[in-house]
A and B are shown apart, each in its own frame.
Chain A
Amino acid sequence: MNQGDSEFDHPGFRRGVEVDLRDSEAVISLAARTCSFDFPEQVRSAVAGFLRDLETGGYVLSDLQGRAPDIADQVPGLIGEFGRLRLLTESGTGASAKVIDGTQLYRELRRVANRVTNRVASSAFYRALVEGRAQARQLIGYGLEYHWLVRSAPGLIAPALASAHGLAGRRLLEEFLASEIGHDKFIGAALQSVGITPDELERHQPLPSTFALGASLGVYARQHPISFKACLFVMEETRPEFIDAFDRRCVELGMPSSFYLPLRQHADLNSEYDHGDISGDLLALEGAVDAETCMVVKRHLALLIETMVQQEEHILSYYGRTDTPMPRIFT
């Protein structure tokens, strides 16, 4: 960003610029703005060629100089002056990389999610449930981690509201936020039925992977809202077979229905609000998404899914031990 650099890689006249080339003067105008410069008659053809090249666009500064050797020394100064007067724009094709709309991005994201999910593993927790390996402590641990995410959700979502600039997007996020408020009560009640006190629940520190999920969503909501919107569908997908397996395993282990029923109620509540397609609804409002943004979003989505897989493994391993604090309270 030094002043000597041309501000455009391929300077070209903006649309609407008119050139009036006289014997020894060129007048360049755009709407009410006009600039003119004088030149010796013997370089008139070089000036004409140079101005034509700017009308055509697509040349870098050294090309413009090479194509008009008689005025090569004056070219940088003229380009600088034309730029200052806003007569030039970037005329190269490099900047206009592929742009897609939000709905097409969502199509691609669903496929990315499927591929990543298939690659990294099926649900370790689900397998432990259906194979009868999950122990009561692990089921309670699952509830504790789930509770932390649910109670954190409104705070993670809310920052996205400030950058929702259109009415439709704002409404969707407001309704989504409203539908997430207070859900921790269900899960809190479930955990109290297995002996976790409200005070313990408040002081429980999540597992690192649980915290990473919350922190990622919260940071994206502030820092890269389109990533936040794109990641919601994986968090909100209802998995009825998981809930059924969870219930069955709780019954097998003789755990009270007051523990597993509220978890089911919460899952039912989520499907009532049809959260499953919140990402699709929000991304449909994105008119143009450039290639780099698509890449960043896909990276974030893949990371989130990997972290969700890690979280299930961490719940199984951490709460599978009996020598670790549960709830995780560190003083």
Chain B
Amino acid sequence: MHGVPDRPRLTGIVRQASQSVFVNTDGIDHEIVADGVEPHVIAEVLRRFDGENNITQALDGEGGLSEEEGRQLVESLNAAGLIDDPGPVECRNAIDVILELEDIVEDLCTRTIYQNPFWTTCLAVRGPGDLPQRLATGMVIENWHFLFRESYFDAPVLSYVPHTEVRLVINQFFSEEYGHDEILLKSLNAVGLSRDDMRDAIPLPETMALCNALAYWAHNDPLFFFTTLGLLEGQGMKKDSFIEACERAGLADDFIEPLRIHSNINIGAGHGNLTREIFKHIPGLDHATVARMRSQAPLFVELYDAFYSGVWRHYTSDAPLLRRVSEL
């Protein structure tokens, strides 16, 4: 049995007999015998194990037991399952941890994603010609690959057991997300890419890396996976900078409209608030979990930044637009 509590609480009722003391718990009498110590002394000390007194306080004024003997008594009681530890546990409020994590992620994004050539290009678009159609199409292709594989990383957490409310939230989210690849497919259709083309297509390695990293976390570290959803779903975002860039560049409306529909569904459903919504239902996080989340956050941002770098690299090059399995 591990760790003796600082302020032990006896789980049973103390009864003093002529030669010994009994602790009755769940209908079973446990006899406590201490050589050379009067039963009434033991009984009094046991009664003071109420979860409020520490061992020294419980022994106070009872000369028959030394501090060391008192500690041994608690260890024996603990090993026999007669001791509880009602003391407070050190943990952090989960939503506070998430807000701190958002601070960290935003700081990281400022130095990485927001400096990424894909995004600086989008934000700098002033008029037609500033955003090549091929680059915009590429962004939608890779987004389609990501959404097409959303079940890879959402499915493992649909069965999230620890907190019922979280499971309900994530199931609702998935039901709202399901089929979004079909919306983006309409944009791709508008620029001449068919469903069969996309079934034949190979995502960029950075896109697949992001999908599989998320799937790995969803399987093995669901709490960390939940922290990524806010950023992925456009946390704090009132409008989509990519769509605005497409509009300013004067790209065709039948290409942009499905993107708008998709974005408005996410914004309207509050998907950007998903991480906070989830962690609102998680009462506390221990320090090891908090440290793990903080230490993994940069890796996630790097993967996400690499996704945009991949889009920029491939779709500004003269390589074929689609990487096809049939051409391998």
Contact = CB atoms under 8 A, between A and B. Distances in A.
Interface of A: 1-3, 5, 7-9, 14-15, 31, 84-86, 89-90, 95-97, 99-101, 103-104, 106-108, 110-111, 114-115, 118, 162-163, 165-166, 222-224, 226-227, 277, 280-281, 284, 286-288, 290-293, 296
Nearest to A90: B95
Contacts of B83: 107
A294 to B, nearest CB: 10
B1 interface: yes
A292 B159 contact: no
Contact of A292 (B164, B219, B270, B288): B164
B205 interface: no
Nearest to B83: A107
Given A1-B172, A14-B96, A99-B284, A165 B292 contact: yes
Given A8-B280, A165-B221, A287-B286, 5 more contacts: A1-B172, A8-B276, A31-B103, A290-B163, A292-B163
B327 interface: no
A90 B276 CA distance: 10
Contacts of A163: 220-221
A190 to B, nearest CB: 34
A72 B159 CA distance: 41
Interface string B71-114: 00000001001011100011101111001001100000000000
B273 A1 contact: yes
Contacts of A106: 1-2
B169 A1 contact: yes
Interface string B191-218: 0000000000000000000000000000
B268 A3 contact: yes
Contact of A3 (B84, B89, B267, B283): B267
A291 B219 contact: no
Contacts of A287: 89-91, 286-289
Contacts of A115: 26
B159 A223 contact: yes
B170 to A, nearest CB: 11
